[in-house]
Structure 1
Amino acid sequence: MTSLKDTLQLRQLTLPAAHSLCSFIHKHKMLSLSLLLLLILATYFLYSGLFAHVIIFTGYPPIKNVTFVYKLQEGPHKNRAELLKEASRIGPNTFCMEVFYDYPKKVPGHQCRYAVGSFVSEGKDKVDEDLLKLYETFGFHVFSFPEVTHVVIASVPHRNFLSVLLGVKRVYPRLDGTFCNTICLLLPGTHSNNVYGIHIFDKCESK
């Protein structure tokens, strides 16, 4: 028959072992959760276009003979999200374009100029007069682009907000000093025809 002394000794041996086992399981659980989190983040970055091929080519533009409604603004480029939201609320099914006139690494953020807006007609499509008047009611300006035959195009995935950040970091270093300095777009209200970059989205959404 087991004595009380033997039982106490057995408990003294068992408790440290159980504590060590619990610590081992806890550490491995934290490690598993950390690995799972890293896997999710890696998948998200890959889906956003971290290693997607950047396609750069010259040729005919993807759009032509367009009527563009826009607003001009000065300040850090990140503030353009508000204009995108406004344009999206007015015309949620329109194409959207951003025009950046200054290079943030050379011009102070508060002095950077950009235009954001939507296309209300393209090609042979007629302008939706009601939609055009609605944009004008909210202070948007109107500009019609003539058809051009030769442009430089860079194409990257646009799936979420991170795609935009990754695209800017990967595309512009390849274009800077080579193609960007040849782009000209003088919108009414601007005082320079030098353009740092142009973004065109298939839907006017703020992602």
Structure 2
Amino acid sequence: MRVKVLQTMNWSDISLIVGCIVLSFVLFLAYCGAFHVITFRTAQPYERDLHVAYFHTRGPYKDCGPLFSKVLKIFGGKSPMFALYHDNPREVAADQCRYAVGVLLPNELSNETTAVLKSNGLCQHTLPTIEKAFMTDFPATSFLSCFFMVIKVYGNMEYHMKEANIGTDFGKAPFIELHNHVPGHVRVFMPLEKQERFVLPEFSAT
């Protein structure tokens, strides 16, 4: 039966099927952000102090996935997530790079949330309100979005900072990701002021 079906198909039918497959693949890549046009700008990244809870560790940034999974397992995706990358991987050995992954907390913590933080050993810190950061927003729609974000955002940020005549040296301040701060996107930014207050206590001592 399969042979007969193939025999009855002509080249136009095959071309149509192949075309649909290719189109679907291209649309999926677009959905994941492969063709997203990056626009960097200097602006206020958020409007109030951010109270955060997090796990911190050392290691290659590419291995941060398990820490994201750990946080998701605890909070179930109910709280907006964030990540902070402390070291410039061009200057610090990959296995010595410090980073943190966690969630944004409400101003008032419930007894339940306090218990969850304590039982799981999460650290807490407050990121200050700032007026200026070098930043962009990138679509976060699938696991491939992270791959494209690394290439298109982090791979081009230093060049665009130089083009914008940003005085802060690239990599001299932490990079922060706010997940779903803009719905369906990750906001990536580097603070241009109060940079010392973005150094997590656990990192200032190491």
Q: TM-score, normalised by structure 1?
A: 0.68
Number of equivalent positions? 173
CA 1:128–1:181: 2 relative to 1, 3 Å = farther
Provide the rounded CA distance (Å) in 1 between the counterparts of 2:64 and 2:80. 16
Q: Which residue in 2 is equivalent to 1:112?
A: 97
**Structural RMSD (CA):** 3.2
Q: Is the 8 A contact 1:120 1:128 kept in 2?
A: no
Deviation of the 1:81 alpha carbon = 1.8
Q: TM-score, normalised by structure 2?
A: 0.69
Which deviations, in whole Å up to 9, do the C-alpha atoms of 1:132-183 show, x marking residues without a partner?
3312311211112232222222112111121222122111233226369558
- Asked if 1:148 corresponds to 2:126, the answer is no
Note the residue ranges of structure 1 that are not aligned, 5 or more in a row: 1-18, 185-192
Structure whose alpha-carbon radius of gyration is higher:
1
Deviation of the 1:57 alpha carbon = 1.5
Q: Taking every aligned residue pair, what percent have the same amino acid on both sides? A: 18
Note the residue ranges of structure 2 that are not aligned, 5 or more in a row: 185-206
- Within-5 A mapping of 1:71-150: 71-91=55-75, 92-121=77-106, 125-150=107-132
Q: Which residue in 1 is equivalent to 2:29?
A: 45
Which deviations, in whole Å up to 9, do the C-alpha atoms of 1:30-65 show, x marking residues without a partner?
554433322221010011122223232222222521
Provide the rounded CA distance (Å) in 2 between the counterparts of 1:69 and 1:102. 19
Q: Which residue in 2 is equivalent to 1:161?
A: 143
The structure 1 segments of at least 4 consecutive aligned residues displaced by more than 6 Å after TM superposition are none
| Aligned with residue 69 of structure 1, among 53, 59, 80 | 53
Q: Is the 8 A contact 1:67 1:127 kept in 2?
A: no
Report SS of the residue matched to 1:156.
strand
